[in-house]
Amino acid sequence: MDNKKKNMLKIAGFKEEIDAVEHGFCPICKEPVNKEDFRDHISAKEYMISGMCQKCQDKIFREEEA
């Protein structure tokens, strides 16, 4: 993520989350992110967008049971 986007997100109130991702932590659970834990290319790509670990991605994007 470029500095302009980072600064905008920090101004919008996401400083803690941006700082967590920059230091290798998930912005949701604050646990260290292990890139080897990603199940597939899509999960790794989502990490590049949001910084979320696999566990948090699973919680956020899980399909609702019918």
4-8, 37-41, 52-56: which range is least confident on average? 4-8
Segments making up each domain of the chain, as ranges = 3-61
Q: Are 32 and 23 in contact (CB under 8 A)?
A: no
* Contacts (Cβ under 8 Å, ≥6 apart) of 56: 26, 28, 29
Question: Please, which pLDDT band fits residue 52 given cuts at 50, 70 and 90?
Answer: very high
Question: Please, which pLDDT band fits residue 5 given cuts at 50, 70 and 90?
Answer: confident
- Decide if pLDDT at 65 tops 70: no
Question: Please, which pLDDT band fits residue 3 given cuts at 50, 70 and 90?
Answer: confident
Backbone angles phi, psi at 44, to 5 degrees: -65, -40
Which residue has tokens 């700082």?
19
Q: Would you give the distance in Å from CA 62 to the centre of its chain?
A: 15
The tokens describing 60, both together, are 């956020």
